[in-house]
Structure 1
């Protein structure tokens, strides 16, 4: 029997997180009995490359050839579209709708590997071999540059070329490249500025070429292979003669390329902007590489809109802080300089007691261990030496905030703080310092980590074997749908309890979020735990019975988990406390969990989450946690619960210490309880302690004569 199969997808290219829809047309010349017809869809990455290793210790001089390969599966899907029956003659049309997970990377194909997606139709026939028809599907993972703080940071790169080798005369060429933002999408024009200062005595800059370089990294069996290729080049004939300066403004159109990789996979795609400067004479070409991000959606806000967005109560790492400082004076003052200072650092201090033994006595010595970790330091001069007249003085600032800056936090033995200061140096007298602490939040997008979609499953057994209690055991299975949540989200968990004990009953259980602060000073550390208990669930499981239980826990307003190695590290665990009858102690079961700032967008039932095979109908009927949709949530800012004993910086003067400052963190109102319940449980008043994302911070007004904080004299 001759069968013609045609795949007709609705779109030539599908986006991750959407449904792949279309039709499959089968044309047959005669009717035939069919066991089954089903479609399969697979998304996978394959890496294969060779390495040549030379063992210098071996007597054999022949190199060793090592073949490295790796495979990574992103999704598998199977759905039956025709059961056991007779396939009629003629044209048969079958519709399909396949949901794609949001973590599926973009399709690419290169020398050492590829990311590919394939749709197949399998026809199972009686007493005959199966017929398989395949077609490739192009998938693009969306990359919205507006949600990436690093794309908002402008590119400023400086490079210096020294010319000193014989027979050329010595000299220096200084080049500065400025790009308004760090991320662009294909088809967008990138406007850039080149400041060229040619200090050489006889060498001219003849021209330069702008090239977008795609760099692919392949990982397999602990080895790494990198390949680069030039995508598109533009040559500009701009002459800069020796001993001259010139500013060149031009634009470069981003070609059609795959977006940059967003997750950790065995194939990583990144981009560089390469400036190739061509000099006169026999000089080699001068290559200048600057990293750049390529997305699918361009930045939505202009420079004015982004500046307004950054004047919020919470500043995000990777953004630029803009604003103004207003200084009011009632009399003229002689100053030697005025500057704005922004410092972000982590400071840890705790006592350590050591014992010293001598012949006559035992001495206990007290040491103070301290550590400081600086993340950013920025200084901007706003006034020089001279006479400062009385009246109002306004100073504007624009401060870049690096993307690696961790979230502001305050603990028992240390803190991460960011402070904006106006420093006035006076002649003969001590300087005056006016300070304002700022809250910084490092974004933690859970959608960029596929492991967050995997459910948490814990199986534990508790044995009762000691007199006077009877024997037996209790087996418990804990299931949590996802591995990461955000403040304000409700964690719906389930318990399977098999009570095989002879006379001990399970009386109740309770979920607790355990926050762990780790403070490090060289090889010494202090660990502080904070317990945020949920409601007690009074559900009894009698002995010699089984029961399936369920509960919920609302994530309170806390800072996100730490993303890098710092002297202050924050992590979280969920603790399930099981309470028994009689004199038995509580049974605590702990499992790690991640707290982020941006919730997951996808959800699925238990089996689908394990294998990353979602089903649209089952998802709609499932009762697991549904992370917030970005179009239906309200992002609020709230202060955390009051810290009983917080860190007091011993290096700061007591009269000028901002000890009353509390950081602010995000919470999603989509998951939050009613306002009355929030107020009752945490002592928060939504109208006072909650601020919408659109709320803006007022200008900083500094009045030396009426400042609420006394200056440092």
Structure 2
């Protein structure tokens, strides 16, 4: 019977809502023959739940509610929405016959402003459901579950001003093996606030003073989820999910090298550390230098914030003659912002591993008067295009009802999150201002000459008469 029910959302094909909005839709029941029922119930629910079990000291996810005796089970739950409406009959009402046909019921439920964003993890979730239950006499109830995504607005412009500032962290690992000298890593991020779809630019300086080579440098973006249970005791567990990864290197022993890598932030939930007591979501960038198996791997961790409203641009930046502000004094040269141009400088061909070149950034000039090599920029920054709502593929879960007195078929659900196209903007994010590089049209030609042509040209110059600089 569950296949005979369909739940749709009004003016929202994928069922994505922000807090404060009203989730509305239709429950369509299609029966090919008459049925005996006690009632039809519609529930709109939203809750955070964490559950896991411990076996031999190990934490294991719990995919079923019923657990064998002797295994310790930890559970935590927090409810946000609990709306129940009987479309027909009641829980303990009289049995009635419902004729064959199609029945359409509308529903609407406001979403409180304090609800956290949807999230699906290994040891818990923040889930919002629309469920229709057919209460049958003398048989198990049948349910139809449909999930919808709720997003808590996290405007990076309304958060801490530190999100606009660069972030720098460093680590140094000392090795006692054969009196090796330390390995030093210094990592820099252009800003600390991002949105899905934006490119995160990481600059790392590696100084390998040890006697062993650094095999590679791994730059990773992690989602860290922390789950809290209060039954039978207060316990917490955490989970790390790898969202993006780049590899650079190697760095030979007693050598130094700099790397600039870019990571695209996929569709994911916004940072949530205070709204829910059960599930907390945070993000961090981790840079690890992989050394010899006998040595510890130096690592640098920089926390970041991911929201769903990007940082507003500050308009055109100052010219090349203006002095660099103190917060950017420690950055390596004029490190470009997280834009399409920055991606090209970080390695345009497949975003490969390439060292950061100072010479490529210092040779900038303004166009001369009448030079039409550059297009004129408008004073006002362009408007941000609307985001697309994409699925977070690493959060797919089965939302079927697992009650023993209920028959529910498997239902897969994947939350959707707004993904922005920030980096195709002409106006840069709030980062150090870029300098225009003047295109060279004719300077590259002498580099293409062969050795014979260069030799012939030098011989011709020797034959030409040279005027004396002293006037007689």
Tell me if the contact between 1:573 and 1:591 (Cα under 8 Å) persists in the aligned partners.
yes
Q: Which has the higher contact order (CA 8 A, sep 6+)?
A: 2
Secondary structure at 1:451 match in 2: helix
Secondary structure at 1:514 match in 2: strand
CA distances 1:283-321 after superposition (whole Å, capped 9, x unpaired): xxxxxxxxxxxxxxxxxxxxxxxx965554322222101
For structure 2, which runs of at least 5 residues remain unmatched after alignment? 1-8, 58-68, 329-333, 341-380, 425-472
Q: Label 1:528 to 1:644 Cα distance change in 2 as closer, same or farther (>3 A).
A: farther
Number of residue pairs matched?
Answer: 344
Q: How does 1:224-235 map to 2 (within 5 A)?
A: none
- 2:165 is aligned to 454
1: distance between equivalents of 2:38 and 2:385? 51
CA distances 1:247-271 after superposition (whole Å, capped 9, x unpaired): xxxxxxxxxxxxxxxxxxxxxxxxx
Secondary structure at 1:447 match in 2: helix
For residue 85 of structure 2, the aligned residue among 350, 366, 380 is 380
2: distance between equivalents of 1:458 and 1:349? 35
- 1:511 is aligned to 219
For structure 1, which runs of at least 5 residues remain unmatched after alignment? 1-306, 356-363, 612-620, 673-713
Does residue 100 of structure 2 align to residue 390 of structure 1? yes
- 2:27 is aligned to 325
CA distances 1:4-37 after superposition (whole Å, capped 9, x unpaired): xxxxxxxxxxxxxxxxxxxxxxxxxxxxxxxxxx
Q: Label 1:458 to 1:654 Cα distance change in 2 as closer, same or farther (>3 A).
A: farther
| TM-score, length-scaled by structure 2 | 0.63
Secondary structure at 1:638 match in 2: strand
1:581 positional shift = 6.5
2: distance between equivalents of 1:344 and 1:476? 44
Q: Label 1:383 to 1:670 Cα distance change in 2 as closer, same or farther (>3 A).
A: same
For residue 540 of structure 1, the aligned residue among 241, 248, 251 is 251
Q: Label 1:458 to 1:430 Cα distance change in 2 as closer, same or farther (>3 A).
A: closer
- 1:599 is aligned to 310
CA distances 1:593-632 after superposition (whole Å, capped 9, x unpaired): 1122222123679964849xxxxxxxxx8721259x8834
Q: Label 1:411 to 1:393 Cα distance change in 2 as closer, same or farther (>3 A).
A: same
Does residue 74 of structure 2 align to residue 369 of structure 1? yes
1:471 positional shift = 3.4
For residue 44 of structure 2, the aligned residue among 336, 339, 342 is 342
Tell me if the contact between 2:171 and 2:298 (Cα under 8 Å) persists in the aligned partners.
no
Does residue 200 of structure 2 align to residue 495 of structure 1? no
Secondary structure at 1:624 match in 2: coil
1:574 positional shift = 1.0
1: distance between equivalents of 2:252 and 2:297? 15
Tell me if the contact between 1:342 and 1:377 (Cα under 8 Å) persists in the aligned partners.
yes
1:343 positional shift = 0.8
Secondary structure at 1:404 match in 2: coil
CA distances 1:651-710 after superposition (whole Å, capped 9, x unpaired): 4668415452222222224459xxxxxxxxxxxxxxxxxxxxxxxxxxxxxxxxxxxxxx
2: distance between equivalents of 1:630 and 1:310? 27
2: distance between equivalents of 1:425 and 1:503? 72
Q: How does 1:225-264 map to 2 (within 5 A)?
A: none
Q: Label 1:493 to 1:427 Cα distance change in 2 as closer, same or farther (>3 A).
A: closer
2: distance between equivalents of 1:662 and 1:451? 32
Does residue 131 of structure 2 align to residue 421 of structure 1? yes
- 1:573 is aligned to 284
1:429 positional shift = 6.4
2: distance between equivalents of 1:332 and 1:467? 80
1:340 positional shift = 2.4
Secondary structure at 2:263 match in 1: strand
Q: Label 1:467 to 1:626 Cα distance change in 2 as closer, same or farther (>3 A).
A: closer
| TM-score, length-scaled by structure 1 | 0.43
- 1:182 is aligned to none
1:400 positional shift = 0.4
- 1:40 is aligned to none
Return the structure number with greater strand share: 1
1:508 positional shift = 3.2
Secondary structure at 2:412 match in 1: coil
Secondary structure at 2:413 match in 1: coil
1: distance between equivalents of 2:137 and 2:173? 74
If you compute each CA radius of gyration, which structure gives the higher value, 1 or 2?
Answer: 1
- 1:129 is aligned to none
1:342 positional shift = 0.4
2: distance between equivalents of 1:556 and 1:382? 40
- 1:408 is aligned to 118
1:509 positional shift = 1.4
Secondary structure at 2:75 match in 1: strand
CA distances 1:564-617 after superposition (whole Å, capped 9, x unpaired): 232111222111012347853422211211122222123679964849xxxxxx
- 1:5 is aligned to none
Tell me if the contact between 2:199 and 2:339 (Cα under 8 Å) persists in the aligned partners.
no
1:432 positional shift = 4.5
2: distance between equivalents of 1:498 and 1:634? 43
